[in-house]
């Protein structure tokens, strides 16, 4: 079912942060730059929430803008669009002044605009351009560089991200070349015996592996988290554009090739989840632990998508929300602590920072618990759906998911204990607890995870519809082509 927006909600939600990023970049006054960023992101969020409301009323429909056909909104991208803008807004408010510059805020605006363009893309060219745009702040435009901070993204991470873009371009080019007739749209499936389609699939999946940091490409995420600016990188990782590429392009456009190759990629996702979880057990540096746990939990998103069952895909889409909010919340608290203490935290010993920062401790703890699927948080329904949905198609997951989640739970709870509990270090005596601006944003994230855990239906409804549609298409192709 096709519907149209008479007002360009989606275009404005992309254009406002994009235009604002140019103005903010040129500003000299930091508080004015932050205010402008917050206003631009709030406006973008408001437009998206209105559009989201329309989708919620007619969840089976696909909304395209009447003005032009570049952007679209449906049950699959409705929540990710709003969620990502909300995350950017939260980061813009929470970012400590310590290393903040107008160009840093402009980078967040740019990232928000381009990522939204990728989510809302209605054709392959827009998607490729938006993907490139989302990498630009980390590759060519030095948005996040600061005279006060020595943190830069390592060349190795930049190389991997650049390769992911090259791989995506080749994959899309092959996809278009293989079937000219199908055009650049995102609806018509390309099926049949065609080696070019298989090559296109392979390149697209390489792009996914590189961007998402699946094994063996996980190191770029860990190294970047360790050396680079934490909050922008958390946003980059939490856009989950790799998973979105699978859900929006690979699954619907290449259903038969995907069906044949899924066992390999599913195994790779599981291997990544286990590998990163085991590495996190030996890790001491908090930033690297964040990265490893985020990689491990995010890998399950792909496993869920690859299950091709409605329950598994819905679980993956809900886990996406949980991982995004929980890791951003934890990273924001950690970045705030680093700014207060002036350096990376040394967690070889207990630091006891909860002594004077109990609220920051609670926010961090809730993020930890949600990330690993503890009840009372949205993580619990997400993991329940994922487990129920994938076990039928991937029996190993039934064992691996609880084991990996248990390991990740230990890693994050140990990290929480090392930072916040134990005998307080000298610096803990003068630590300032959550500032008012931090308190409100972190409370919003806390409520999202908590209320989402108590009343998950509202957050599961749209992913469930998108999942049923994707699983239905996959089942139809399997039946039509009589695939094994």
Partner 1 sequence: MSESLLLALLILLPGGWCAVLGASWLLGVRWPERPVAQLTTACYTAVLLIVAALWWQLLTSGKEQLHALYGNWFEVGHYHFPLALWADYLSLPLLTLSALLILIVSVFSRRYIHRDAGFFRFFMLLNLFGSGILLFFAAGSFDLMIGGWEIVGITSILLVAFFQHRDDPVTSALRVFATYRACDIGLLTGVVLMHIFVGTSEFSQVLPNNIEPHTPLVGNAATIVAILLLLAAMGKAAQVPFSGWLPRAMEGPTPSSAIFYGALSVHAGAYLLLRAQPLIASSVLVAEAIIVIGLLTAIHGTLVGRTCPDAKTGLAYATMTQLGLIFVEIGFGFTRLALWHIVGHALLRTMQFLRAPSLLHDHHRVHAAAAGHLGATGQHFAKLLPQTMQHWLYRLALDRGHHDNFLDRFVVAPVIRLAHAMQRIEIKLIGGGH
Q: Which residues bind partner 1 (CB under 8 A)?
A: 154, 156, 219, 222-223, 226-227, 275, 278-283, 285, 288, 309-311, 314-315, 350, 352, 354-355, 359, 362, 369, 374-376, 380-381, 384-385, 387-389, 391-392, 398-399, 402-403, 406, 409-410, 413-414, 417, 420-424, 443, 446, 456-457, 460, 464, 467-468, 471
Q: Least distance (Å) from partner 1 to the CB of residue 479? A: 17
- What residues are paired with 121 via a beta bridge? 71
Q: Is 150 helix (H, G, I), strand (E, B) or coil?
A: coil
Q: Least distance (Å) from partner 1 to the CB of residue 388? A: 5
Select 96 or 422, whichever has its Cβ closest to partner 1. Answer: 422
Secondary structure (DSSP) of 38-105:
HHHHHHHHHHHHHHHHHHHHSTT-EEEESS-SSBEE-TTTHHHHHHHHHHHHHHHHHS-GGG--HHHH
* Torsion sign across C-alpha atoms 133, 138, 142, 146: positive
Q: Least distance (Å) from partner 1 to the CB of residue 359? A: 7
Q: Least distance (Å) from partner 1 to the CB of residue 398? A: 6
Q: Least distance (Å) from partner 1 to the CB of residue 392? A: 7
**Residues 434, 357: Cα–Cα separation, whole Å:** 7
- Within 13 Å and on the Cβ side, how many CA atoms surround 474? 25
Q: Least distance (Å) from partner 1 to the CB of residue 163? A: 15
Select 30 or 274, whichever has its Cβ closest to partner 1. Answer: 274
Report the Cα 323 to chain-centroid distance in Å: 7
Taking only Cα atoms into account, the Rg of the chain, rounded to an integer number of angstroms, comes to 21
Helix axes of 219-227 and 230-238: crossing angle, nearest 10 degrees: 150
The H-or-E segment that residue 280 falls in is helix 255-282
Which residues, other chains included, contact 308 with Cβ-Cβ below 8 Å and sequence gap of 6+?
Answer: 251, 259, 262, 393, 470, 471, 474, 475
Q: Least distance (Å) from partner 1 to the CB of residue 242? A: 20
**Residues 119, 371: Cα–Cα separation, whole Å:** 23
- What residues are paired with 185 via a beta bridge? 123
Select 50 or 376, whichever has its Cβ closest to partner 1. Answer: 376
Length of the chain: 484
Q: Least distance (Å) from partner 1 to the CB of residue 96? A: 21
Q: Least distance (Å) from partner 1 to the CB of residue 173? A: 30
Select 112 or 299, whichever has its Cβ closest to partner 1. Answer: 299
Select 110 or 446, whichever has its Cβ closest to partner 1. Answer: 446
Select 359 or 473, whichever has its Cβ closest to partner 1. Answer: 359
Helix axes of 379-391 and 310-341: crossing angle, nearest 10 degrees: 140
Contact 392, 306 (CB under 8 A): no
Q: Least distance (Å) from partner 1 to the CB of residue 243? A: 18
Burial 133-152 (b: 16+ CB within 10 A, else e): bbbebbeebebbbbeeeebb
Select 123 or 388, whichever has its Cβ closest to partner 1. Answer: 388
Select 96 or 424, whichever has its Cβ closest to partner 1. Answer: 424
Q: Which of 449, 424, 214, 212 is nearest to 330 (CA)?
A: 449
Select 98 or 359, whichever has its Cβ closest to partner 1. Answer: 359
Select 40 or 441, whichever has its Cβ closest to partner 1. Answer: 441
């Amino acid at each position: 079912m096709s519907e149209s927006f008479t007002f360009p909600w989606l275009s404005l939600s992309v254009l406002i942060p994009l235009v604002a990023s140019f103005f903010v970049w040129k500003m000299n006054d930091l508080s004015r730059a932050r205010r402008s960023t917050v206003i631009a992101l709030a406006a973008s969020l408001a437009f998206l929430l209105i559009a989201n409301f329309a989708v919620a009323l007619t969840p089976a429909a696909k909304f395209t803008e009447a003005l032009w056909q570049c952007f679209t909104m449906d049950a699959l991208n409705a929540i990710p669009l709003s969620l990502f803008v909300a995350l950017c807004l939260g980061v813009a408010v929470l970012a400590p002044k310590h290393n903040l510059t107008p160009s840093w805020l402009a980078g967040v605006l740019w990232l928000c605009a381009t990522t939204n363009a990728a989510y809302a893309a209605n054709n392959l060219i827009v998607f490729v351009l938006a993907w490139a745009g989302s990498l630009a702040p980390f590759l060519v435009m030095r948005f996040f560089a600061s005279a006060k901070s020595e943190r830069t993204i390592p060349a190795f991470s930049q190389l991997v991200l650049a390769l992911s873009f090259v791989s995506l371009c080749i994959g899309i080019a092959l996809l278009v070349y293989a079937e000219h007739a199908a055009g650049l749209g995102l609806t018509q499936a390309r099926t049949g015996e065609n080696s070019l389609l298989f090559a296109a699939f392979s390149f697209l999946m390489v792009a996914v592996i590189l961007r998402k940091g699946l094994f063996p490409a996980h190191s770029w995420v860990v190294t970047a988290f360790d050396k680079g600016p934490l909050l922008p990188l958390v946003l980059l990782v939490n856009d989950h554009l790799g998973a979105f590429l699978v859900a929006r392009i690979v699954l619907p456009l290449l259903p038969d090739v995907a069906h044949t190759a899924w066992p390999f990629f599913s195994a790779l996702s599981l291997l990544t989840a286990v590998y990163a979880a085991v590495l996190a057990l030996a890790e001491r540096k908090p930033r690297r632990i964040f990265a490893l746990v985020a990689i491990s939990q995010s890998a399950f998103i792909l496993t869920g998508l690859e299950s091709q069952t409605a329950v598994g895909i819905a679980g993956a889409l809900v886990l996406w929300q949980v991982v995004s909010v929980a890791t951003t919340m934890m990273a924001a608290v950690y970045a705030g602590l680093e700014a207060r203490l002036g350096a990376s935290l040394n967690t070889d010993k207990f630091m006891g920072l909860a002594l004077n920062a109990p609220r920051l401790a609670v926010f961090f703890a809730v993020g930890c618990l949600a990330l690993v699927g503890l009840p009372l948080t949205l993580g619990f329904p997400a993991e329940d759906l994922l487990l129920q949905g994938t076990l039928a198609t991937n029996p190993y997951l039934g064992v691996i998911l609880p084991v990996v989640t248990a390991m990740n739970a230990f890693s994050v709870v140990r990290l929480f204990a090392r930072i916040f509990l134990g005998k307080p270090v000298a610096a803990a005596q003068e630590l300032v607890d959550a500032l008012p601006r931090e308190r409100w944003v972190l409370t919003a994230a806390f409520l999202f995870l908590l209320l989402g855990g108590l009343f998950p239906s509202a957050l599961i409804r749209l992913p469930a519809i998108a999942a049923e549609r994707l699983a239905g298409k996959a089942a139809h192709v399997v039946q039509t082509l009589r695939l094994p």
